Structure 1
Amino acid sequence: MRYINFMPAAAIVMAVTSCSEKPRMELETYTVEPTSMSEIVTATGTMESVTSVDVGTQVTGIIDKLYVDYNDTVTKGQLLAEIEKTLLDSELKSADASMASAKANYEYAKKNYERDKALHDEQLISDYEFQTSKKDFDVARLSYEKTQADRVRAAKNLNYAEIYSPIDGIVVSREVEVGQTVVSSMNVANLYVIADLDNMQVVGAVDEADIGQVKVGQHVTFTVDSYPDDTFDGTVTQVRINPTTTNNVVTYEVIVGAANPEHKLIPGMTANLTIYTLELNDVTAVPLKALKFQPTPAGEDDKLPQPKPLSEPGKHTLWVVRGNDLVQTDVELGVSNSVYQQIKTGLKPGDKVALQYHLQMMQPQKEGQGEENPFMPKPPGANRKR
């Protein structure tokens, strides 16, 4: 829903009275002075952390130690938890043994291959014997390379038993307990959710009728129910074009970024957004009806300002009162809202811009004045002769 905020300027009414028996004809004017113009779009949204990380494990095991809990502040690289390492350590030792055995076979096969190659070059052994020696060497080399890769994986899995924080933030969720078995399959098993609460964002739902007015960089204020007396500031960082339809109502997501140094804002809060689609301060502006004003020549008894039209008026003109004249003035228009039109050039502070004519009826007669109504009852003793 769209609302209009504005700072009204003083409106001066110039009144000229004709004869006492006639209504007064008045010219309503608007005095130009620095004005604030704004237009807003309202929406609701949900508070989220800009950066939120699910911290998990890539290995299967039993949770041995947990070093942090809900609401703890953590830093990047801080140890959060450990998985029991006995099996992982044994896998690493087994990989070391397999690699050592494969290395020995590889070195033996390499020496045989080099010796047989020299003999084959001298035609002292057959081609079959040389090819067999080369095959054994290739198999031993590949087996050694495989055990090296297995050893790297076993060492990495052992390192995965220690869970470290990937970011600076606050623990907003803990998913496991000490002694619980975590199983790593296709999905990483989550242990914690860590969020950076210094930088928050609101995912707002803006109605399709208003989304065309919302742009990146616009100023936003919002409130949350937890702090009804506080107003928070933000900025539109993204306008998403993917629509959401609920009960035949189409809305679009608008992302509003907001700093949160005091950590008052937490994920999940409902925010009431006010998006300033137009926000101007200290500008020259006039009411919209000033653009539609058309003067009429004053009568003999109406001492109103006399219209002085331009010989070649521009595209946009206003009628300005100067002395006893109503002067047509060329102006350059800026932006507008539902109440005011910005004027870039053509007016200066203090100018009186004509808005409309209207008749001012006579004031009702005071009690005891005017002709006596013969049908009104008379007070007691009114007919008594003196």
Structure 2
Amino acid sequence: MDGSVDAPVLGDMPAPVLEPKARKRFRRWPWLLASGTIISAVALVVTWQHVAQPDRPSFETVAVGWGDVTRQVAATGTVNPELTIIVGSYVSGPITEILCDYNTVVKAGQVCATIDPRSYQTAVNQDSANVSVANAQLQKDRANLDYARLNYERSRRLMGAQAVSQEAVDIARNLADQADAQIALDEAIIEQRKAELAAARINLDYTNIRSPVDGVVVSRNVSRGQTVAASFQTPTLFLIATDLTRMQVDTNISESDIGAIRTGQAVTFSVDAFPDRSFRGQVKQVRQSPQTVQNVVTFDAVVSVDNWDLALKPGMTASLIIITDRETDVLRVPSQALRFEPKDALAGRIVPQGPDGNHAHVWVERNSELSMISVKTGISDGSYTAIDDGSLQAGDRVVVAERLPSSDAPASLRFLRW
């Protein structure tokens, strides 16, 4: 042997020998990988179940209590004086003087304006002269009657002496009768002339436009120098309100609400001029005449109002609340509770319905369960409904709505809250 060492051949190298600890770690890796896969799958399944299932709902509840329930009808109307007098003119002519203006307090018979009276004064003078002419004609015809009667008496005496013929006597008697009839005609003409004179004087008096009542001028529609033409229609010169301390509101009530309106019902209303003030009145009259505008039928209800401080002005627009019914100190629930119905998803938390399930009922949440309670309802004001009979008691919490957790929150947070 030459003492040299041959290099080992790679194909002839023996397999490395592993220590026992290394051999154990190498065998543990597959189990670790399998366990991690199983844990991940379970986590995904649990997460999917909680994300996919809907959030468990909760409910908004309101406590049942005692209170007042008032049924009312809302409407709008116009403020007007109880009695408004239209002052016009019976005769035509130019206005020569205006003696009343807006807000003038007037008395019955007070002159508010005058129309040029000259043409009507001329008519009075002419008719007065006609009466004088008729009286003069009467005096003349009376004298003629006296002469006709004397002539008839003379002719009759002469006939007894055979001095005149029967024809002459008949003619004398006829003339006396005609003179007597003329007197009656003259008296009738005098009465006619007097009537014409009276009419002329009335027309002359009409040139003074007078207030027919005590009141306040609320409108003036004429000016000095304006010509009034009353030939076809009486012109309106003034509007006079008899008493502004007593006002009324004319309101239009829809046909769906008119059945609940009665005389004497209390009314509250407000006007734009006094938004912080509430006025009170009562229904004085419900008129039977319908008013149809664009196929909408309404009826006029008149509300009487005390306007002692003259705050209300004619023509103001009023927003009215008419109280048609009221119950005080009654058990009441929110009207929304009578409309609430739980969803099918909550079937596991719902107590089976009773035999009155189709009648008025409310849902009460007790011990995380929903119980349906049948009730007999009374009047409603839209927000609350009176309960006349039922198993509800003051303090019970009725369900008015379903409340779900916020969908904006992450699924994990919703899961934690649930």
Shorter-chain TM band: 0.5 to 0.7
Task: Specify which of 177, 189, 203 is matched with residue 235 of structure 2.
Answer: 189
Opposite residue 337 of structure 1, the aligned amino acid is I
Return the structure number with greater strand share. Answer: 1
Q: Deviations over 1:53-92 (max 9, x none)?
A: 1212222222111112223232322221122222222222
The residue number in structure 1 matching 2:392 is: 355
The residue number in structure 2 matching 1:273 is: 320
The residue number in structure 1 matching 2:284 is: 237
Report the CA distance shift for 1:263/1:121 in structure 2 as closer, same or farther (over 3 A).
farther
The residue number in structure 1 matching 2:195 is: 149
The residue number in structure 1 matching 2:122 is: 90
The residue number in structure 2 matching 1:25 is: none
Q: What is the CA distance between 1:115 and its match in structure 2?
A: 5.9
Q: Please tell me whether residue 109 in structure 1 is matched to residue 109 in structure 2.
A: no
Task: Specify which of 215, 229, 233 is matched with residue 169 of structure 1.
Answer: 215
Report the CA distance shift for 1:117/1:228 in structure 2 as closer, same or farther (over 3 A).
farther
Q: Deviations over 1:152-185 (max 9, x none)?
A: 1121122212222122322222222212221221
* Cα separation, 2, equivalents of 1:222 and 1:337: 22
Report the CA distance shift for 1:358/1:183 in structure 2 as closer, same or farther (over 3 A).
closer
Opposite residue 258 of structure 1, the aligned amino acid is V
Give runs of aligned pairs for residues 262-301 of structure 1, distance below 5 A: 262-279=309-326, 285-287=330-332
User: In structure 1, the residue corresponding to 2:392 is in which secondary structure?
Assistant: strand
The residue number in structure 2 matching 1:384 is: none
Report the CA distance shift for 1:115/1:30 in structure 2 as closer, same or farther (over 3 A).
farther
Report the CA distance shift for 1:106/1:213 in structure 2 as closer, same or farther (over 3 A).
same
Q: What is the CA distance between 1:264 and its match in structure 2?
A: 2.1
- Do the aligned partners of 1:119 and 1:125 also contact (CA within 8 Å) in 2? no
What TM-score comes out, normalization by structure 1 length? 0.63
Q: Deviations over 1:10-54 (max 9, x none)?
A: xxxxxxxxxxxxxxxxxx9978x8x64422111111222221112
* Cα separation, 2, equivalents of 1:141 and 1:355: 96
Give runs of aligned pairs for residues 1-386 of structure 1, distance below 5 A: 36-113=68-145, 116=148, 124-126=169-171, 127-196=173-242, 197-279=244-326, 285-287=330-332, 336-338=378-380, 339-340=385-386, 354-355=391-392
Report the CA distance shift for 1:359/1:249 in structure 2 as closer, same or farther (over 3 A).
closer
Q: Deviations over 1:126-153 (max 9, x none)?
A: 3532443244223312211111001111
Structure 1 spans left out of the alignment, 5+ residues: 1-27, 290-332, 344-352, 361-375, 378-386
- Do the aligned partners of 2:63 and 2:397 also contact (CA within 8 Å) in 1? no
Identical positions, percent: 32
Report the CA distance shift for 1:45/1:128 in structure 2 as closer, same or farther (over 3 A).
same
Structure 2 spans left out of the alignment, 5+ residues: 1-61, 157-168, 335-375, 400-414
Report the CA distance shift for 1:358/1:161 in structure 2 as closer, same or farther (over 3 A).
closer
- Do the aligned partners of 2:106 and 2:216 also contact (CA within 8 Å) in 1? yes
Q: What is the CA distance between 1:359 and its match in structure 2?
A: 11
Aligned length: 279
* Cα separation, 1, equivalents of 2:332 and 2:96: 72
* Cα separation, 2, equivalents of 1:219 and 1:87: 56
Computing the radius of gyration over CA atoms, which structure comes out larger, 1 or 2? Answer: 2
Return the structure number with greater helix share. Answer: 2
Report the CA distance shift for 1:220/1:114 in structure 2 as closer, same or farther (over 3 A).
farther
Q: What is the CA distance between 1:226 and its match in structure 2?
A: 1.5
Q: What is the CA distance between 1:111 and its match in structure 2?
A: 4.7
Opposite residue 188 of structure 1, the aligned amino acid is T
* Cα separation, 2, equivalents of 1:234 and 1:272: 12
* Cα separation, 1, equivalents of 2:246 and 2:84: 10
Report the CA distance shift for 1:48/1:114 in structure 2 as closer, same or farther (over 3 A).
farther
Report the CA distance shift for 1:60/1:358 in structure 2 as closer, same or farther (over 3 A).
closer
Q: Deviations over 1:318-376 (max 9, x none)?
A: xxxxxxxxxxxxxxx9x941222679xxxxxxxxx84178999xxxxxxxxxxxxxxx9
- Do the aligned partners of 1:30 and 1:354 also contact (CA within 8 Å) in 2? no
Opposite residue 150 of structure 1, the aligned amino acid is E
* Cα separation, 1, equivalents of 2:241 and 2:210: 14
* Cα separation, 1, equivalents of 2:178 and 2:379: 90
- Do the aligned partners of 1:29 and 1:354 also contact (CA within 8 Å) in 2? no
Opposite residue 268 of structure 2, the aligned amino acid is T
- Do the aligned partners of 1:116 and 1:125 also contact (CA within 8 Å) in 2? no
Report the CA distance shift for 1:132/1:224 in structure 2 as closer, same or farther (over 3 A).
same
Report the CA distance shift for 1:176/1:358 in structure 2 as closer, same or farther (over 3 A).
closer
* Cα separation, 1, equivalents of 2:239 and 2:221: 8
